[in-house]
C-alpha cells in the first residue's frame, strides 16, 4: 500500500484489497503501548494508519481502499464517513441495525464495536481501510483497549445470528464502497 501510494500518478487506478490476516495487533501512528494490556504472544506491528490499537485475525474481513481523494473530490472525514456508511448499509442487508459514533470512529451495534477503521493520507491519496468482525475469536480484543478505549466491547456477525463466509461479506461491502465513490 505504501509503495503503491508513493509511486502512483494521477492516472493510476484506485484499488480495493480484500484480505484476512493471521492474528496480529496493529498500532496506529498515535498508538500507545499502554493500550496493550498483556503479553499474549500475538505479534504487534506498528502501522502508519490513523488510530490506536486493534486486532486482526481469521474470520475478520479487512478491506483496504487505495484511492486518490483529490480525483474523487473527497476529504479525509468524508472518506471515513463513506467507510462507516458502507459498513452500516452492509450490516443492514443482514438485518443488523448499526450506527457510527461522532466520538469514536467505527461502526457499533448496541454500543459494541463491530467495525474499525483507520486511514493514512499521503500526497492526496488514502490507504488502509476498514475491518468488520464476522466469525472470529474475539478473545484477543480482551487483551487490548480497542481503539484506545478502556472497556470497549466488541461484537461480530456470528454473535448476532448471521453465519456467512468472510468472502460473502466482502461482496456487499465492496459494492457499497464502489457505489459511494464512483462518479
Q: Is 56 labelled as part of a ligand binding site?
A: yes
Q: Is 75 labelled as part of a ligand binding site?
A: no
Nearest to 19 by CA among 167, 180, 118: 167
Q: Is 90 labelled as part of a ligand binding site?
A: no
| Alpha helix stretches (DSSP H) within 18-165 | 69-72, 76-92
CA distance 122 to 32: 22
Q: Is 51 labelled as part of a ligand binding site?
A: yes
Cell numbers that stand for 100 in this block: 457510527
Q: Is 53 labelled as part of a ligand binding site?
A: yes
Q: Is 55 labelled as part of a ligand binding site?
A: yes
Q: Is 116 labelled as part of a ligand binding site?
A: yes
Q: List residues with catalytic annotation.
A: 147
Q: Is 156 labelled as part of a ligand binding site?
A: no
Sort residue 154 into left (φ over 0), alpha (ψ -120 to 50) or beta: beta
3-state secondary structure 33-68: HHHECCCCCCCEEECCCCCCEEEECCCEEEEEEEEE
What are the binding residues for substrate? Answer: 49-56, 116-118, 129-131
Q: Which residues are annotated as a binding site?
A: 49-56, 116-118, 129-131
Amino acid at each position: 500500500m505504501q509503495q503503491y501510494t508513493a509511486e502512483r500518478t494521477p492516472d493510476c487506478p484506485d484499488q480495493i484489497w480484500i484480505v484476512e490476516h493471521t492474528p496480529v495487533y496493529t498500532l496506529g501512528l498515535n498508538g500507545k503501548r499502554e493500550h496493550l494490556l498483556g503479553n499474549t504472544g500475538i505479534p504487534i506491528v506498528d502501522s502508519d494508519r490513523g488510530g490506536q490499537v486493534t486486532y486482526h485475525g481469521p474470520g475478520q474481513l479487512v478491506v483496504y481502499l487505495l484511492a486518490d481523494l483529490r480525483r474523487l473530490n473527497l476529504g479525509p472525514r468524508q472518506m471515513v464517513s463513506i467507510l462507516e456508511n458502507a459498513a452500516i448499509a452492509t450490516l443492514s442487508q443482514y438485518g443488523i441495525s448499526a450506527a457510527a459514533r461522532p466520538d469514536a470512529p467505527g461502526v457499533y451495534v448496541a454500543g459494541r464495536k463491530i467495525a474499525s477503521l483507520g486511514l493514512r493520507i499521503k500526497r492526496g491519496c488514502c490507504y488502509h481501510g476498514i475491518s468488520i468482525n464476522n466469525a472470529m475469536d474475539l478473545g484477543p480484543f480482551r487483551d487490548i483497549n480497542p481503539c484506545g478505549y478502556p472497556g470497549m466491547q466488541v461484537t461480530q456477525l456470528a454473535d448476532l445470528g448471521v453465519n456467512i463466509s468472510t468472502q460473502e461479506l466482502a461482496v456487499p461491502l465492496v459494492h457499497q464502497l464502489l457505489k459511494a465513490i464512483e462518479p
